[in-house]
Amino acid sequence: MPQSGIVKYHVKLSFDVDGLVERADIIGAIFGQTEGLLGPEMNLNELQRVSKVGRIEVNTSSSTNTTKGNALLPMSTDIDTCALIAAAIESIDKVGPFDCKFTLDSIDDIRASKKEDIVKRAKEIKQKWSTKSVSEGDSMLKDVHEGDRGKLTTYGKEKLTCSDGIFDSPWIILVEGRADVINLLRAGYDNALAIEGAKIDESIKELCDKKEKVVAFLDGDRAGGFILKELKSLVHIDVEHRAPTGVEVEELTPQQIDDILKDTAADMKKETSKPTISDTDDKPLAELANKVYPDLNESLEAIAIDSNQKEIFKVPISEVVDKLSTQSGIKYLVLDGIITQRLLDGAKQAGVECVVGHRVAKLVSRDGMKLKTFAELGIA
């Protein structure tokens, strides 16, 4: 059919011929024996010329003395014209010298088929787009919902699963496994570390020594009890939390987690809400701390200074308590870490008058010693 023709219908007919004929004989009979039956404007040749009828397709199969087959006429006319053409072809009774019979099998509305295909494809498009839209929507909601939450990372040589907030947070939550860390992240707590087994890694003890508060949050089963006992024998636990009996931390909803931890979090917020402006009496101390801060920050070291503001020694924080036991004449101890009770006791024995650090842990006693954080001195 010419490009201008738009097929609307397929007229399908079958035929039986009492003799052996060729495909060309069938086409010749269709054109020849319908010519003039319906007027010149309805001749198939004329209809093809004006793109109302397309190329007629004929298939044949022959036996010993008969020929059978089918014919298809693509048409772009109205249904009435299709019916007239089909009736005209059914009137054909000869193909060459042989008797024949044409029978209309169907007139298929191509537009209806196209509509079905269009609807089917539209459904596919909608499904694909809806899935994509929902996926993107969920992702956007997740981004908003978790916008200020931390991310998973690892800690120590054993690469223990943790959330990245443990490095800066003044307190830490010890949980049993990776799934617990993830669940706490969902609830908005980004300072959890998984101990991952009953054997407590040495790096956990070192990290806990640097924190102001250590919280244990363990499963509500028997194993959780054993792990808590082991933890308490190796690490100073400030607060103990357990999931409800028979429930694991990873199974809790974010609301349940928050209900358990919110009071502890609120207490920590109060303890760390301290003034950031240095008092006038602290100005000399602030100037001294500010002088050493650039080289000390993020070094995990401690500097001992005498009354003339001269450096006595500089050692890693892990060695400072032992070093203090062999030194004298120290007035100031400035460290890149947490002021713990153990460090404070060592400083007291060495005659230190003032200790400056990033944070002050929960202490049993200060023994009258002056303790300051860099934030209180207006430095950090």
Mean pLDDT by 10-residue block, N- to C-terminus, for the chain (380 residues)?
A: 67 94 92 87 88 92 91 92 93 92 92 80 75 51 47 87 88 93 91 84 84 92 89 89 93 92 84 54 85 89 93 91 90 91 90 90 77 85
Q: Residue 380: its pLDDT value, please? A: 66
Task: Say which CATH superfamily domain 9-112 falls into.
Answer: LOR/SDH bifunctional enzyme, conserved domain (3.30.70.2690)
Q: Residue 355: its pLDDT value, please? A: 93
With 0-12 CB in 10 A as exposed, 13-18 as middle and 19+ as buried, what is 161? buried
Please tell me the CATH code under which domain 280-373 is placed: 3.40.140.20
Q: Residue 216: its pLDDT value, please? A: 94
Q: Residue 143: its pLDDT value, please? A: 46
Q: Residue 140: its pLDDT value, please? A: 46
Q: Residue 138: its pLDDT value, please? A: 52
* Cβ atoms of 143 and 160 closer than 8 Å: no
With 0-12 CB in 10 A as exposed, 13-18 as middle and 19+ as buried, what is 231? buried
The upper half-sphere exposure of residue 376, i.e. CA atoms within 13 Å in the direction of its Cβ, equals: 17
Distance CA 348, CA 76 (A): 104
Out of 3.20.20.140, 3.40.50.10190, 3.40.1360.10, 3.40.50.150, the CATH code matching 152-272 is 3.40.1360.10
**Domain residue ranges in the chain:** 9-112, 152-272, 280-373
Q: Residue 135: its pLDDT value, please? A: 52
By three-state DSSP, how is residue 152 classified?
strand
Backbone angles phi, psi at 246, to 5 degrees: 80, 0
